[in-house]
Amino acid sequence: MANKKLKAPVNIPVEKIHPFEGHPYKVLDNDEMNILIESIQQKGVISPIVVRPLEDTENEYEIISGHRRLRASVKAGLETVPALIYAVSRDEAAIMLVDSNLHREHILPSERAFAYKLKLDALNHQGKAFGQVGQKYSRDLMAESVDESSRQIHRYIRLTNLIPDLLDLVDEGKIALTPAVELSYLNEVEQADLVEEIRVCDATPNLSQAQRLRAISREEGLTPEHIGEILAEEKANQREKIKIPAEKIRKYFPKSYTTEQIEEAIIKICESRYRARQGRDAR
């Protein structure tokens, strides 16, 4: 379908505008939304939303860009909002929707994951329509447009296989991207068991643990017992450490001593003092 843009925004009743089905970006009632509502109440909608006509309807539209602005406008009491109307196909609209939001400063991993999937599906569909079949073609084309490697795009899209509770932990920064990709290969029952064990153990898997969970799942099936044992392990970054700047203690040791020799000497001094204290306490 040809791309057709009206020269000026058109005021459209809010009840005639519908969210883009399956759009990946979250519309949250948070402080930023409250600021946007207040701005619209004072100044109106400064930047028009972008919509497309919905097929087989009369004067009904689907949002391409501006889900947050529409939500804020409704909350601000507006009955109409200014909109630019693009006569485009759903695939074209999906690509426009993703591209119009990727520049945002804060994009959650889940938003990026579903955005990449939405755009890749649209490119695949377009590629088939033009005789350029194959996901590799679409992924390479997408990699150029979003400035990401094909591998990184694939990794993000894997996150769409996570159940919502696990994906929330990724968005909250409690599970990093790489281990999250490994966990995306667990089935839904195993993922639900993992969420429960995370709550019980108050610990999330690192990369090594996630890889082992995936391996057990593939080889024999993952049980809550497996998960609990792995999550209960002490991680290296959780061990308590005492750090002393080298310049504070090096003067007490021969200049020829290496860092390892200084560490060993300190431990021996501590052991000697501990034994002496134990002897005094036994008297």
Instruction: Indicate the residue type of 47.
Output: S
C-alpha 176/C-alpha 205 separation (Å) is: 9
The whole-number pLDDT of residue 135 equals 57
> Domain ranges in the chain?
1-101, 106-161, 164-238, 246-276
Residue 147 backbone zone (phi > 0: left; psi -120 to 50: alpha; other: beta): left
Q: How confident is the model at residue 150 (pLDDT cuts 50, 70, 90)?
A: confident
C-alpha 242/C-alpha 277 separation (Å) is: 22
H/E stretch holding 253 reads none
Q: Helix, strand, or coil here: 213?
A: helix
The whole-number pLDDT of residue 223 equals 94
Contacts for 168 with CB less than 8 Å, ≥ 6 apart: 110
The whole-number pLDDT of residue 239 equals 47
Give the architecture-level CATH label for domain 1-101.
Alpha-Beta Complex (3.90)
C-alpha 127/C-alpha 2 separation (Å) is: 17
Q: Residues 77-120: pLDDT tens digits?
A: 999 999 999 999 999 999 999 988 777 768 899 999 999 999 98
The whole-number pLDDT of residue 222 equals 94
